Amino acid sequence: MNILTTEEKNIILGSIRDIPDFPKPGIIFKDISTLLSNTTALNTLMTHLENRYRSYDLDYIAGIDARGFIFGSILSDRLGVGFVPVRKKGKLPYTTVAEKYSLEYGFDEVEIHIDAFGENGCCSTGEKSKVLLIDDLIATGGTAKAAANLINKVGAKCVEACFIMELGFLNGSEGIEAPVYSVLEID
């Protein structure tokens, strides 16, 4: 399995800007826009992910709205597989399947097209489509759990959930019905 060197981790982590007190006091926001604009850091990250997932024989990559779209699209192009957006409710134009998840004060929903991974979630061989779920950050894990459930709900198989950063102290990866890989773990 492909593992980042200390130098590669430092390149990626060093390109992520901390914004204190955003969106509210006490929060340190991890801004990936500086990672995206740093060609060395972005290439280091995407080459690592490409090397890690090349042997997974994936059919699709599903990216969570909206920053997962960026990493998922780049990786799907590098691996030569399809990309599927997991969107917030009401953003997809065709028949969808939805999954609710809890927020601190209420609920939200994510959706995918019912045929996003082929008919009944199967690829051209008739096997369950193998899907990698990707997003930039996992905090409490509600969105990620809902997205992984959606993949499985339409008949495909979420083979792994990948995050660029994980806020480990929030234990957000617990309860995801797939193995979890986080490039950077922040405590």
Phi and psi angles of residue 82, each rounded to the nearest 5 degrees, phi first: -70, 155
Catalytic sites, residue numbers: 67, 104
Question: Quick check: 160 and 181 in contact, CB under 8 A?
Answer: yes
| 3 state SS of 169 | helix
Question: Quick check: 76 and 61 in contact, CB under 8 A?
Answer: yes
Q: Residue 106 burial (CB < 10 Å; 0-12/13-18/19+)?
A: exposed
CA distance 132 to 8: 22
